[in-house]
Amino acid sequence: MNSPVWHPFTQHATEPAPPLIARTEGAYLETAEGRRILDAISSWWVITHGHRHPAIMSAIRAASEELDQLIFAGFTHPYAEALARELVTLAPPGLIRVFYSDSGSTSVEVALKMALGTFRNKGEARHRIVVMEASYHGDTIGAMSVGARGVFNAAYEPLLFEVDRIPFPAPGKEQETLDAFEAATRGGKAAALIIEPLVLGAGGMLMYPPAILSELSRIARETGTLFIADEVMTGWGRTGTMFACEQAGISPDILCTSKGLTGGAIPLAATLASEEVFAAHYSQDRSRTFFHSSSYTANPIACAAGLANVKVWQQEPVAERVAALCAMQAERIAQFADDGRFENARRCGTITALDLKVPGAGYLAEAGPKMRAFFLEQGLLVRPLGNVLYLMPPYCVTADELDRLYAAIHEAGDRFGSPS
């Protein structure tokens, strides 16, 4: 055993030893030997502006000279207060309360507990959670429960609670999704719908139009069902707007954000809620307190990084960079529209994806690890979801770097695909 480290989503019996990364900068990881690897997936979708953005790194250093961790129950600090005010300004209207946590999964756990607590405190017997098939919301127990059941969580099935599922709105079958949601809300037992807006990430980068998101929001509103938008991956420009909900013109009751919240530099999450959700927990009756925390809630250094990230959005032409990346991605993914080696070439904002035609498609497709190794040999970090290839680069990526990536995808199609 060369290393005692147990890596995530890694089968150590079949995977080679991972490269040792000594430095990161811009769109690149650099190994101890000086080999540069283009980070085409933003290090699991977190890096937005590029690695080690100077303003964010500077804010982290400055905050560490003043504060480290402090208890957030009964105390507060300037970075958390300032960041919360900025988040309220940036978020869809009506989300005016900010609860901090540590990761995307914990922000989802917070959202689910807020929803259930809201109805319990109101004295309403609503306890069912409605989810979309093929969704993924994290790897903690509640987050797994509201995600797709399968290889990710089969071993933990005894721990997971039951949910009501609606189908993914596949092209031509959108009405089935809307009808299923309406049916799930009949009888007044549904507490909330939790959904990844516009793009289902780990489920295969599945994409659906804003009009469906808008209709789901309308049904939720009319039936008194809380609408939870999991914007952990889709937020901070990934779909072309600050939050994906903007494209549907909706304001969820609860919104989860993490990943790009600090520009990807350091872990932090926030769950934003409406006044109605907060008010259900506001009482002289202390039993209605929202009972959730972690030791590192609203870590000052992480909040300082988040605040610096907001300032980068305000002071640098980030929106223009996002728009340029959207255009570059649209131009390049179009070349695969009629490519017989692939199917379902698609784009939403800065994200592109396409499915390699192989026998036994799915997350455990044999082509997945083979393609990952192939890309790494070429100095590219591309991590397929089985036979699904996707690119989600940081906003500093150049046209030439994208050309390298798409040329490698062409070659991967020749090497690993099985065209019909």
- What CATH number did the domain enclosing 378 receive? 3.90.1150.10
Query: Would 15 be classed as within a structural domain?
Result: no
Query: Would 35 be classed as within a structural domain?
Result: no
Return the pLDDT at 361: 85
285 and 175, same structural domain? yes
386 and 294, same structural domain? no
Query: Would 36 be classed as within a structural domain?
Result: no
Question: Residue 95 pairs with which residues in a beta bridge?
Answer: 274
Total-model pTM: 0.97
Return the pLDDT at 89: 98
Residue 216: count of CB within 10 angstroms of its CB: 26
Model pLDDT for residues 30-54, shown as the tens digit of each residue = 999 999 999 999 999 999 999 999 9
* Domain final position from 315, 337, 354: 315
182 and 146, same structural domain? yes
389 and 263, same structural domain? no
Task: Tell me how far apart the alpha carbons of residues 87 and 261 are, in angstroms, rounded to a whole number.
Answer: 9
* Domain final position from 255, 288, 315: 315
111 and 252, same structural domain? yes
214 and 143, same structural domain? yes
Query: Would 337 be classed as within a structural domain?
Result: yes
91 and 188, same structural domain? yes
Q: What are phi and psi of 148, to 5 degrees?
A: -65, 145
Query: Would 254 be classed as within a structural domain?
Result: yes
Q: What is the domain count for the chain?
A: 2
How would you list the strands of the sheet with 190-195, edge to edge?
A: 95-101, 269-274, 254-257, 226-230, 190-195, 128-132, 164-166
Task: Tell me how far apart the alpha carbons of residues 302 and 241 are, in angstroms, rounded to a whole number.
Answer: 23
Q: Check residue 65 and give left, alpha or beta (phi > 0: left; psi -120 to 50: alpha).
A: alpha
Return the pLDDT at 2: 84
Strand-strand pairing, 254-257 and 269-274: antiparallel
Q: What Rg, from alpha-carbon coordinates, does the chain have?
A: 21
The whole domain housing 386 covers: 317-416
252 and 117, same structural domain? yes
Give me the residue label for tokens 């959700």. Answer: 277
List the pLDDT tens digit at each of the 420 positions of the chain. 589 999 999 999 999 999 999 999 999 999 999 999 999 999 999 999 999 999 999 999 999 999 999 999 999 999 999 999 999 999 999 999 999 999 999 999 999 999 999 999 999 999 999 999 999 999 999 999 999 999 889 999 999 999 999 999 999 999 999 999 999 999 899 999 999 999 999 999 999 999 999 999 999 999 999 999 999 999 999 999 999 999 999 999 999 999 999 999 999 999 999 999 999 999 999 999 999 999 999 999 999 999 999 999 999 999 999 999 999 999 999 999 999 999 999 999 999 999 999 998 899 999 999 999 999 999 999 999 999 999 999 999 999 999 999 999 999 999 998 865
66 and 152, same structural domain? yes
230 and 150, same structural domain? yes
The H-assigned helical ranges of 299-356 are 300-315, 318-333
Question: Residue 25 pairs with which residues in a beta bridge?
Answer: 28
Query: Would 290 be classed as within a structural domain?
Result: yes
Query: Would 92 be classed as within a structural domain?
Result: yes
Task: Tell me how far apart the alpha carbons of residues 51 and 31 are, in angstroms, rounded to a whole number.
Answer: 14
158 and 220, same structural domain? yes
- Copy the structure tokens of residue 158: 């005894």
Strand-strand pairing, 254-257 and 95-101: unpaired
Return the pLDDT at 419: 61
* Domain final position from 280, 298, 315: 315
CATH of the domain at 159: 3.40.640.10
327 and 305, same structural domain? no
Query: Would 22 be classed as within a structural domain?
Result: no
